[in-house]
Amino acid sequence: MSSYIMDLRKIVGHRPLLQVGASVIVEDEQGRILLQLRSDNHLWGYAGGSVELDEVVEDAAKRELREETGLIAESLTLFGIFSGKDTHYIYPNGDEVSNIDIVFLCKQYSGTLTCQEGEVERLQFFHYDDLPKNIFAPLRRPLSKWIEEKRRANAQ
């Protein structure tokens, strides 16, 4: 969690916060998506986290990707911006957020897959027709859009 959000939590406790996130959907050369099994709720999702004060969103996305997966993004493409009731979330510790998630697509990367200790239990690539069932709820809409785009591209 970002230090900015942690500082706010000291003031507001568990009350809802508007949180801006920067996330990355990583695709390998076979068109599979990289997902991580989160340590806090044991649900699958892609890499991402809070943008710090004055941080460039793309830099935050690259930072989160490297911290959580060990991968270095060579290039990012804006995939979408997601917000609304389906991005609202209450963490296991009771912290409540309304997320604005700025999601990037990354197909060019380097590095070695490495799980971030204490945050990521497992990293695995999945085919779009074989994603795990236990997906982190705020990420379902972006993942549905990604699946739809993959199916459309493969149908052509």
**Going from the N-terminus, what domains does the chain have, and what CATH number goes with each?**
3-155 (3.90.79.10)
Per-residue pLDDT of the chain (156 residues; tens, 9 = 90+): 678 888 999 999 999 999 999 999 999 999 999 999 999 899 999 999 999 999 999 999 999 999 999 999 999 999 999 999 999 999 889 999 999 999 999 999 999 999 999 999 999 999 999 999 999 999 999 999 999 999 998 888
The length of the chain, given as a count of residues: 156
How many whole angstroms separate alpha carbon 78 and alpha carbon 103? 6
DSSP 111-141: E---PPTTTEEEEEEE-TTS--S-B-GGGHH
